[in-house]
A and B are shown apart, each in its own frame.
Chain A
Amino acid sequence: MSSPAPNNTLAGDRVLAYATLAPSAFLLLLLAGVPTITVFFTAMQDIGMGDLSGPYVGLDNFAWALSEPSFYTALGNTFVWVFGSVSLEMVLGLGLALLLNKAFMFRGAARAIILAPYLVPTVVAVLTWRYMLHDIVGIVNAALMNIGIINQPVLWLNSQSLAMTSVIVVGVWKFFPFAVIALLGILQSIPQEQYEAASIDGASSFQQFWSITLPYVMPVFLLTTLLRSIWTFHKFEIIYLMTGGGPLDSTTTLPILVYIKAFSDFEFGRAAGGRHYHARHLVRAPCHLLHPHEKSGGTPMTALTTSYPEASRQPRRNFGNGRRSSSDVARPSLPAGADGCLRCRFPAFLDGPLLIQAWRRALHGTPDIPA
């Protein structure tokens, strides 16, 4: 008589377990596993938008990234963005969570209001903030000038020195409620008895905070910091909608760099000069249409585009976009930032040149963009 190996599950249980796991496992593989693997193969190929395939180039693309100054600029910007946003969010979040954990009148209402920024869609929030931070018509400058703190408008989003700070402030405003919710949750789970015991033991308020509140909160605080760091690291839309990565490349973080690379340069990167020219305009045309006055340096559209020395450019090896690329030395005739709309960076790759020309004619009666 041989004793069978111990097995405490019924045969049917096991089948059911795998059957119920299968859909999730399949979706996970499909949506997370496949892209993770394919992105490695994509990264090792020279791929253009036209046919979505290209020759195998090994680690060339990585070598390019590491040799590209704009990559390092974006890396630095990303660090400032992540560190600035997350540290402010967490400090502000902890402070407000502690405040909201205390009993006071209208606490329920205060908690609901605190959540509001998190619930507002990013597009709405950003458009509102851009109005508020507008140098001429924005309420922020108006208020500060009325109070007398400043005597001329501050270029919150249009100056290299302030743009990142402004974007961080908006980001913190938008996302600090997450920290508040997470920390308030853990604060409320601290047994009141702990504080009562400590107060009998003779601990002051600060000692109670240091010895009870902080150790309780710390795991959630660290986890929230980690999550917020990850999410902030690849946060795209709030920066892109605020500044488009500019002025120059002062707010170009890695996701913005990748986006520009993929959807404004890559797409037509392998095309010859003429096609490249179109690509550049596809990106920017709606801005020119909507905000022709925003072009600094007064360079007319046609002059700008025709003076562009396309032939000398290496489309795959820079950002093809003088506004953003510090390595782009092939445009000495234009001041930096001259060819972009400083106010709006409308993602225009969805539009076609013919449509743009039709708009221009309809709106301004101006000559066509040379095709």
Chain B
Amino acid sequence: MARVEIKEISKIFADHNAVNNVSLTVEDGEFLVLLGPSGCGKSTLLRMIAGLELPTYGDIFIGERRATRLQPKDRNIAMVFQNYALYPHMTVYENIAFPLRVRGVDKQATDAKVQWAADLVGLTRMLKRKPRQMSGGERQRIALARSLVRDPDVFLLDEPLSNLDAKLRHSAREELRQFQDRVGVTSIYVTHDQVEAMGLGDRIVVMQAGTVRQVGTPEEIYLHPADTFVATFMGSPPMNLVETDGLTLGFRPESFLPAVGFASDIAVTPITFNVHRVEYLGGDRLLYGNVMGSLPNTAAIARIPSSVAYTPILGSEAKFAVANADLRRFDKDTGKAIEQHKPVENRRAAYV
């Protein structure tokens, strides 16, 4: 267990800055998610923490130790790779035991430790098999068990769920979170999937083009994005952005609702919405259209729960509104959020 501190770290490859002056602190036992589109530098950052890449500038501390120039094996970290990097010619047992074997741990201690790790991830009955005979989810658990046997200070996970199909990914995410709660080890998790990030992370670091755009809890990041990049990267469909004179207005599709439904004591901003197309998703309907009226004509999406009785009329202007508390303002030029973060409110109660 350890705290990880990253100080003003940069990685410059021949042709571009992969990571640009990033500082971060990961608290002991925290589950931190590095989130961003591909090429944003999140994997490079993780690999620098692992010691697989050396930073061009900056320092990394693991626990009290300065680890910037340490060999990967001397950092007492464990890493789970996207493809798990299991050794295909070894059995599950040999895979899990490998980190102990190469460190010269004696057979009895190895055996006890492997049994313990295999039990923790539920692989006790499959120790004699080879990885290729196992499913994707089982392979992921082998990789977890292998990284666990050494009692690492830090767990590094590089998109470990991206090779699983959608259904399996959901249950594996659940397992992974439970597993981390049980082990309680500091974890840094890289993903480009915002749903994964929201579901797993104690805190999320949103990265873009080698820089950190925002650090915060899932709620903070979703409800109070620090800039328009985070606003559109988080959420599916993304936040609607409407450029007006002087500033950019932002509102989430699920906050963009027919005006009639709002309780009378709620301060709202009315918006005229012209619906072109309706997508029925079961629990929700997505209404594609354009905001108009006092606002510049801009494409927008509204997300209306199926439980709300509303029948959109295609091609005609309808009265919609956004609660003022859900309206975000961004600087038109820099894209930065203008308001201070507000406490999270219970917005749903205000809508019929």
A residues touching B (Cβ–Cβ < 8 Å)? 191, 193-194, 196-204, 207, 211-212, 215-216
Contact = CB atoms under 8 A, between A and B. Distances in A.
Contacts of B66: none
A202 B102 contact: yes
A204 B50 contact: no
Interface in B100-133: 102-103
B102 A207 contact: yes
Given A207-B102, A211-B98, A215-B89, A200 B83 contact: no
Given A191-B83, A212-B87, A196 B98 contact: no
B236 to A, nearest CB: 30
A9 to B, nearest CB: 31
Contacts of B72: 196, 199-200
Contacts of A203: 73, 98, 102
Contacts of B98: 198, 201, 203, 211
A204 B78 contact: no
Instruction: Specify the main secondary structure of chain B where it touches its partner.
Output: loop
B141 to A, nearest CB: 15
B81 interface: yes
Contacts of A215: 87-89
A197 B77 CA distance: 11
* Nearest 9 A/B pairs, CB to CB: A197-B85, A201-B99, A202-B73, A193-B85, A215-B89, A203-B102, A200-B72, A193-B81, A199-B72
A204 B102 contact: yes
A138 to B, nearest CB: 47
A245 B121 CA distance: 66
Contacts of B51: 200
Residue of A191, A196, A215, A216 with most partner-chain B CB within 10 A? A196
Interface string B68-84: 00011100011101110
Given A200-B77, A202-B103, A191 B89 contact: no
Given A191-B85, A215-B89, A201 B146 contact: yes
A215 B98 CA distance: 15
Contact of B73 (A191, A193, A200): A200
18 contacts: A191-B83, A194-B85, A196-B50, A196-B81, A196-B85, A198-B102, A200-B50, A200-B72, A201-B73, A201-B99, A201-B146, A202-B102, A202-B103, A203-B73, A203-B98, A211-B90, A215-B88, A216-B89
B295 interface: no
B47 to A, nearest CB: 8
Interface residues of B, number: 23
Interface of B: 50-52, 71-73, 77-79, 81-83, 85, 87-90, 98-99, 102-103, 146, 150
Contacts of B77: 200
Contacts of B85: 191, 193-194, 196-197
Instruction: Specify the main secondary structure of chain A where it touches its partner.
Output: helix
Given A199-B72, A199-B73, A200-B77, A211 B87 contact: yes
Given A212-B87, A215-B89, A197 B102 contact: no
A201 B94 CA distance: 13
A214 to B, nearest CB: 9
A204 B73 CA distance: 9
A207 B101 CA distance: 10
Residue of B71, B73, B150 with most partner-chain A CB within 10 A? B73
Nearest to B102: A203
Contacts of B87: 194, 198, 211-212, 215
A197 B88 CA distance: 13
Contacts of A201: 73, 98-99, 102, 146, 150
B73 A197 contact: no
A200 B79 contact: yes
Residue of B50, B77, B78, B102 with most partner-chain A CB within 10 A? B102
